[in-house]
Amino acid sequence: MRPLGPLMLDIAGCELTQEEREILCHPVCGGVILFARNYHDPDQLQALTAAIHELREPRLLIAVDQEGGRVQRFLEGFAALPPLRQLGAGYRQDARRTLARVESAAWLMAAEVLCAGVDFSFAPVLDIDHGRSEVIGDRALYDDPEVVAELGAAYLAGMHRAGMAGVGKHFPGHGYVTADSHAALPLDERPCGEIAATDLLPFRRLVAAGLDAVMPAHVVYSDCDPRPAGFSPYWLRDVLRGELGFDGVIFSDDLSMQAAVEMGTVETRALQALDAGCDMLLVCNDPPAAITVLEALERAEPPAGLARRLDTMRRRAAPQWRDLHDSRVWRQALAALEGAHVPA
């Protein structure tokens, strides 16, 4: 039984091709990320995830970005999840009710995704809404680090209650920079101490609360390190692993994003990300680059502890099938979601 490898790839459509089956069986592969193009309806999605899980043992991890709002890959047949900013908007008026609503929305998201055969969503977003970043914007829960930490913990609790591991992103915080890392390499020039006191705070709190995985940002924090966080041993080994004591899985953000491209060839990017401390690398929307990385990683040592961390991520939050088949729990979650619209 071969352990899962450190590479997460995407696929082209709603069914696996023979070439994709062969690639996903390669020892370097460890997971698949799904996009809107991979979804037609719930039945098709269940057939696709079953086909992926049948390929090998241990099963490949299947992931998706199902945050809500403008970042929701599965739409028709799934609950229309509001953006996180909308979920958190009522905190000052009624903190207890807002926290309960956030937890219920996270449970609903996780329950629907798990029932479709997808293992986890890359959530929660723990970035601060500084009012500067369009790419983050309403994906952030709030504009106050303390409140983001509290709301983020409620979101993580909802995911865990459904049986889904949580992936906090984008470490140590993407909300202050204006550039979109999909199109450029953002630069955050604030002092390290300011970043640690604000944007890093939700990650610190959620690591202590049992956060299972983290995705670093393709952002340079120039006062701390000249490299983007996802390629930085300072951020991943010294701060995340060392200072915060995090022992979960570190997923790179997509190595095909423009912010990552500026680090060199895709092979260079992959090896630098592994060397910095990433456990699993995402290469999306670029099949030739994916093959290049797959071949490059054949010659590289897998991250130390990868199999253990992935196994812990699975065991820490196993699907709670009793709740997932209890219609009363679903009705309660949907009722909470419908109350997410807070008057301005």
176 close to 170: Cβ distance less than 8 angstroms: no
Question: Count of alpha carbons within 13 Å of 204, Cβ hemisphere only?
Answer: 13
- Please write the tens of the pLDDT for every residue from 240-264: 999 999 999 999 999 998 888 889 9
The model's pTM is: 0.95
The token pair that represents 129 in the structure block: 């809404």
Distance of alpha carbon 127 from alpha carbon 47, whole angstroms = 34
pLDDT tens column, 72-82: 999 999 999 99
For 26-82, how does the pLDDT look when each residue is reduced to its tens digit (9 = 90+)? 999 999 999 999 999 999 999 999 999 999 999 999 999 999 999 999 999 999 999
What's the pLDDT at 1? 66
Percent of the chain, pLDDT > 70? 97
Note the pLDDT of residue 344: 36
What's the topology of domain 7-338? Answer: TIM Barrel (3.20.20)
pLDDT band at 343 (very low <50, low <70, confident <90, very high): very low
| Selected residue with higher pLDDT from 218 and 326 | 218
**pLDDT reading at 87 higher than 70:** yes
Q: What values do phi and psi take at 295, rounded to 5?
A: -70, -35
Residue pair 107/333 in contact by the 8 Å Cβ criterion: yes
d(CA 192, CA 181): 20
CA distances from 231 to 34, 64, 162, 290 (A): 24, 23, 32, 18
Catalytic residues: 182, 253
Q: What is the distance between the alpha carbons of residues 324 and 18, in angstroms, rounded to a whole number?
A: 33
* pLDDT at residue 316, rounded to an integer: 74
Tokens describing residue 188: 């955050």
Looking at every residue in the chain, the average pLDDT score rounds to 93
For residues 45 and 55, what is the distance between their CA atoms, to the nearest angstrom?
16
pLDDT grade, residue 341 (50/70/90)?
A: very low
pLDDT of residue 319: 67
